[in-house]
Amino acid sequence: MRGVPTNSVDIVLCTAHDRQLAVLLVRDESKRARERWTLPWAPVAARDTLDHAAARDTLDHAAARVALRAAGARASWLAQAGAFADGSRHPGGAALSVAYVGVTRPRALGPSTGAHWFPAGDLPPMAPRHRAIIDAALAQLRERMDRAPVAFRLLGATFTLSELQAVYELLLGRRLHKASFRRALQGAFLVEPTDEWKSEGRGRPAQLFRYAPRRQRGGRGGRGGRGGVRFELLGG
């Protein structure tokens, strides 16, 4: 916290933890912090953005660095979630915060990194701006699930269809119908079966699949946006 206010990049990194959607928070190290947690963040100096004219996108790279440092591993998906500059003070005093939302595969955090996974529905007290960022980031995560393969990035190279459905349900926050889910998935040519099967202890073993999107058959899909208009979401 120098004299000149800086911009910051703040990350809402999500994972599946203990059958719940969890967000990564780190301990707030500033003096007046009393048992507080913050999102992982880093300042973005104005200098940086002017010096490296070659950089494809300064903000994206800064976000990737912050996520890597906080979680100990690369985020497997990361996208910008917006800029926040309302009055509520930022833990680091940043004038403006660029928020990112991402996912990373569940793994153990290194000890004493000061980071911890919190269930998204049970977060500790935080700075108002960080609370707002989390709300917006989780909302955008859900909206983007049908445009980016977020769910697949939360899984390993191979997975069962039940695992995939569980991730969708976790991220969307609602139950899905098994038969419909599989029919839609099959029709989208997104996964292909492997020769391996996975037995989880109880019940029938499940076949393992891998994410292997093939170019769409002329059907509905396609980037151009076919199909009718969806008026259903325009409540008020």
Partner DNA sequence: ATAATTAGTAGCTAACTGCAACTAATGTCA
Partner DNA sequence: TGACATTAGTTGCAGTTAGCTACTAATTAT
Given the rule CB under 8 A, which residues bind a second copy?
A: 4-5, 7, 44, 46, 49-50, 52-59, 80, 82-89, 95-96, 98, 142-143, 145-149, 168, 172, 174, 176-177, 180-181, 184-185, 187-188, 190, 213, 215-216, 219-225, 227-236
Q: Judged by CB, which is closer to a second copy: 87, or 203?
A: 87
178 binds, among DNA, a second copy, none (CB under 5 to 8 A by kind): DNA
192 binds, among a second copy, DNA, none (CB under 5 to 8 A by kind): none
Q: Which of 184, 212, 214, 222 binds DNA (CB under 7 A)?
A: 184
- Residue 203 corresponds to which amino acid? G
Q: Judged by CB, which is closer to a second copy: 52, or 107?
A: 52
Q: Judged by CB, which is closer to a second copy: 109, or 188?
A: 188
Q: Which of 27, 89, 177, 214 binds DNA (CB under 7 A)?
A: 177
Q: Which of 69, 105, 144, 182 binds DNA (CB under 7 A)?
A: 182
Q: How far is the CB of 79 from DNA (least distance, A)?
A: 24
Q: How far is the CB of 119 from a second copy (least distance, A)?
A: 20
What is the chain written as a DSSP string?
--SS--EEEEEEEEEEETTEEEEEEEE--STT-SS-EE--EEEE-HHHHHH-TT-S-HHHHHHHHHHHHHHSS--SEEEEEEEE--SSPPTT--SEEEEEEEE----PPPTTSSEEEEETTSPPP--HHHHHHHHHHHHHHHHHTTTS-HHHHTS-SEEEHHHHHHHHHHHHTS---HHHHHHHHHHTT-EEEEEEEE--SSSS-EEEEEE-PPPPPSSS--TT--S----TT---
Binding mask 147-176 for DNA (x = CB under 7 A): -------------xxx-------------x
Burial class (CB in 10 A: 0-12, 13-18, 19+), 194: middle
Residues that bind DNA (CB under 7 A): 160-162, 176-184, 187, 199-207, 219-220, 226-228, 230
